[in-house]
Amino acid sequence: MKMIIVTTVEEYKKEVLKIFKKAGIESFSGSDIDGYKSASPLLYTSSWFPSEKGGAASNLFFSFCEEEKVTEVFRLLKEFNAKSETTNPIRAVEVPIERTV
């Protein structure tokens, strides 16, 4: 068993859901998150309202599933990212699971 974690900007949320479906991942969890990239301190101080959050609307998904499904998700994500013209590709990591209850 493996755990897959996928992060994406809000614009690609539907694509991730389609990819999970194509890979046969039916059970997963998701959450809305704020994504950040390092910015120069000048940008932080130039804001009229520096206390406002500056993150990009993003999503995080994770699932515990069989290795074959994780392999298929990675294949589909690589294919999607290769065709996409973005500076924010969909990112994924695979985590091995040693024990479950």
- 87 pLDDT above the threshold of 90: no
Give the number of other Cβ atoms within 10 Å of residue 1's Cβ: 12
CA-based nearest residue to 33, from 97, 91, 94, 96:
91
The dotted CATH code for 2-35+55-96 is 3.30.70.120
User: What local confidence, expressed as pLDDT, does residue 55 receive?
Assistant: 77
Q: Which two tokens stand for residue 24?
A: 């046969």
Give the whole-angstrom CA distance, residue 3 versus residue 91: 14
- 88 pLDDT above the threshold of 50: yes
Give residue-wise pLDDT tens across range 19-75. Answer: 999 999 999 999 999 888 775 554 555 555 555 556 789 999 999 999 999 999 999
Give the whole-angstrom CA distance, residue 89 versus residue 29: 20
Global pTM?
A: 0.82
